[in-house]
Structure 1
Amino acid sequence: MFEELKNSIQSLLPGQSTENGATRRTALKTALGVGYAATAMPIMAQTAIQTSTQGLAAGEGIYDMEGFSVPFYYAAPEGKKNLPVILVVQEIFGVHEYIADTCRRFAKAGYLAIAPDLYARQGDASKYTDIGKLIAEVVNKVPDEQVMADLDGAIAWAAENGGNVKKVGITGFCWGGRITWLYAEQSKKVKAGVAWYGRLVGAPSALTPKHPLELAASLKAPVLGLYGGQDGGIPLTTVNEMKDALAAAKGNKAAAASEFVVYPQAPHAFHADYRSSYRKEAAEDGFQRALAWFKAKGVA
C-alpha cells in the first residue's frame, strides 16, 4: 500500500546532481535533540520558513506510555496557561526540523503544539539513508493502535503542562494526514482535524486494519482535508470517494461538517518547505485555512 506513496515522495525529493550521478543534500536536524545525521534522503538542514523561539517555550521532552518513554517536541507561548492544544503528526520522515518549525508556527498563533515521535518504538527515522528501507523497517511496523494510544498520551501530557484539553485539534502531513483522519474517528477529546494529503484508502493489514474511507461514517470530529491536484500517490478519485462517504454518513454531524480543499496545481507534500514539492501559495493558504478551521471549531 505504500508503494505509490513511496514513488510519489521519491520523485519530489530535491537533489543536486554531480558528474558521477550522485545526488545529496545530507543534513537533517531532528527535533528531538539527536543533532545532524547524514542521510541519502535529501532532507535539508534548514526549512524555507524558520520560526524563531522568541516569546516561546520550546524544546524536547518525554512522556510515559505503559513503561515506554515517548519523545516529543513542543512549542507554546512562554508563560501562558490554559492553552488550546494542537497535535502535530509527523510526515513519513519522522519528527525533524520541519515538523518542529510547524509546531513553532502554531505556538506563535497561541497554541500548545506537540509532535510526538510516533515511530520511536520501531526505530529512528533520521538514521535511514533509503526511503524503501525506512518504510519496510520502520513505517510498516507501526501499528495504528499504538499511534492512537501515543496521541492520547500527548493529550495527557498537555493537560499537566498548560494545555486546555477541552480544546484539542490535530493536524498531520502525508503519513500523519492519514493518522489525522483516524484519530478524528477514535478520540472523543479532539474537536477538529486538518489532514494534509493523507492517504484515504488502502488494503487492510493486521497493523493498519482500517483506513479513513471505511471510518467516514463514524467520525467524532470534523476534518478539513487539504490535497494536491497533482499528487501522484493520492489520486483525486480517492478524494471524491471520501467526499461521497462523508455525504452518505447520514446523521453524523462531524462527517457532514468535514470539508476538502484541493489545490489543482499542487503536488504531494506541497507544505513541506524543505523539499522541491513546496508550493508557497498553496502552503500559506492551507495554513491560514487550518488556523481558521480550528478557530471555527472551538480550538482557539
Structure 2
Amino acid sequence: MTDDLLSLLPKVDFTRRGFVATTLISGFTMAAGPVMAQTAIHTDSTGLTAGPVRIPVGIPTADGALHAYRAMPQGNGPFPTILVVQEIFGVHEYIQDICRRFAKLGYLAVAPDLYQRQGDMTKITDVQGAIAIAGKVPDAQVMSDLDDTAAWCRTNGGDPARLGITGFCWGGRITWLYAAHNPSLKAAVAWYGRILGQQSELTPKNPIDLASAVKAPVLGLYGAADQGISVDSVHQMEAALRNAGKEAEFLIYDGAPHAFFADYRPSYRKEAAEDGWKQAIAWFKRHGLG
C-alpha cells in the first residue's frame, strides 16, 4: 500500500467502507447498526502521524504481525502512551477517532486489533456476529498482545514510564484485567466494562476476582441505565477494591445506558460522554500521564 493511500485512512466518510489491506475497518462497522452521522465526532489528523501499523507479537498471526491503528503528534516524542482497547465491534472509525483525540492532546495512542486471529470484523454485519468472534478470544492472548503493543510503543515514540490504558464495552472489561496484569501501568480508565459474568476456559477470571491484584489506579465510568451491567455489580467492585487497599474511583451517570460514549450510535449521551472524557483525561494527568 502506498503512503498516499495510507494518508486517506484517518479521514472519515459516513459510508460503510470495507477492507483496506489490514483487519482494521475503514469507516464505521456495519455490525453496530445505522450510524448517527449528526452526532458522530470526527477528529482530523492535522498535525498528527496517524494510520495503520504492524506490531510484532509473540503469539503468531496469519501474516506475522498484529494490525493496529496508531495516532500521535508529529515529532519524535517520547509521548505519554495510551493503549486503546476496542469495543466489541473492533477497531473501526470510532476507535480510530478516539486515538486521534488522544493524539491531539499530546499522547501516542494505539488500538491493536485484538480479534485478528479469531475473525475478520470487516466482514461482520450484525451484533451477533461480533459477539461470536469476541467469544473466541482468550484473555491470555489479549494480555500478551497488549504487552507486545506496549513494547512496540516504547521504540516508536512512546514513553515507557508513562503508560496508560482505556477501553470500552468489551474493552472496558479488558482494561480491568490489564490493570491487574501489568505492573508498569500508571493508570487505567474502564468505560462500562463488565465486572461479573460467566467464566470459561478462555475467560477464567472476572474483573472482581482480580481486585486484589490491581496494580494501577483505575477510574470506572458506568451508566445507571445500563441493561447489561448492574449498578450493584459496580458497587461490589468498588467495595472489593477498597477492601484490598487499591486506588480507584467510580462515576455512575444517571440515565446513561451502555455505550453512552459511542457518539455514532443511538446510545450516545452527550452530557455523560463529555464529562466522562474530561474525567478520563484528568485521571491520566493526575497519575503522571500529562
Displacement of 1:44 in angstroms is 2.6
Number of matched pairs: 270
CA contact (8 A) 2:91 2:112 kept: yes
Change (3 A) 1:293 1:37: closer
The equivalent of 1:9 in structure 2 is none
Q: Distance in 2 between matches of 1:99 and 1:184?
A: 20
Letter of the aligned partner of 1:275 in structure 2? R
Cα shift readout 1:114-141 (whole Å, capped 9, x = no counterpart): 00000000011231122223212x1110
Do the aligned residues in 2 keep the contact of 1:26 with 1:42 (CA within 8 Å)? no
Aligned residue among 57, 61, 67 for 1:65: 57
> Residues 234 and 125 (structure 1 numbering): CA distance in 2 closer, same or farther, change over 3 Å?
same
| Distance change (3 Å), C-alpha of 1:276 and 1:238 | same
Taking structure 1 as reference, are residues 109 and 128 closer, same or farther at Cα in structure 2, changes over 3 Å only?
same
Distance (Å, rounded) in 2 between the aligned partners of 1:133 and 1:43: 16
- 1:48-89 CA-partner distances (Å, limit 9, x unpaired): 110010000000011111243100001000114110000000
Root mean square deviation, CA, Å? 2.0
CA distance in 2 between counterparts of 1:34 and 1:125 reads 7
Distance 2:28 2:164 in 1: 31
Distance in 1 between the 2:180 and 2:289 partners? 17
2:281 aligned partner, one-letter code: L
- Per the TM alignment, residue 201 of structure 1 is displaced from its structure 2 partner at its CA by 0.6
1:145 counterpart letter in structure 2: A
- The runs of 5 or more residues in structure 1 that have no matched partner are 1-24
Match of 1:19 in 2: none
Q: Is the 2:85–2:167 contact (alpha carbons within 8 Å) kept by the matching residues of 1? A: yes
User: Tell me, what secondary structure is at the counterpart of 1:195?
Assistant: strand
Gaps of 5+ in 2: 1-13
Q: Which amino acid aligns with 1:272?
A: A
Contact kept, 8 Å, 1:28 with 1:97, in 2: the verdict is no
**Partner Cα separation in structure 2 for residue 269 and residue 39 of structure 1:** 16
What per-residue deviation string (whole Å, max 9, x for no partner) do you get for residues 69-116 of structure 1?
100001000114110000000000000000000000000111000000
Moved more, 42-51 or 124-133: 42-51
**In structure 1, how many angstroms separate the alpha carbons of the residues matched to 2:249 and 2:142?**
24
In 2, are the aligned partners of 1:27 and 1:43 still within 8 Å (CA)?
Answer: no
Distance in 1 separating the partners of 2:19 and 2:49: 18
Q: 1:27 to 1:83 in 2, by over 3 A?
A: same
Identify the match of residue 258 of structure 1 among 248, 258, 282: 248
Residue 45 (structure 1) shift: 8.7
Partners of 2:28 and 2:93 within 8 A in 1: no
Cα distance in 2 for partners of 1:36, 1:161 equals 25
- 2:259 is the counterpart of 1:269: yes
Q: Which runs of 4+ in 1 moved over 6 A?
A: none
- Alignment of 1:89 with 2:85, yes or no, is yes
TM-score by length of 1: 0.85
Determine whether 1:139 maps to 2:154. no
Structure 1 counterpart of 2:211, from 216, 240, 243 = 216
Alignment-derived partner of residue 48 in structure 1: 40
Describe the SS at the equivalent of 1:190. coil
* Alpha-carbon distance, 1:157 to partner: 0.8
2:118 equivalent to 1:127: no
Q: Which amino acid in structure 2 is aligned with residue 42 of structure 1?
A: G
The partner residue of 1:176 within 152, 171, 174 is 171
Identity level (%)? 54
* C-alpha distance in 1 between matches for 2:29 and 2:289: 38
Moved more, 177-186 or 63-72: 63-72
Instruction: Tell me which residue corresponds to 2:269.
Output: 279
CA positional deviation for 1:40: 5.7
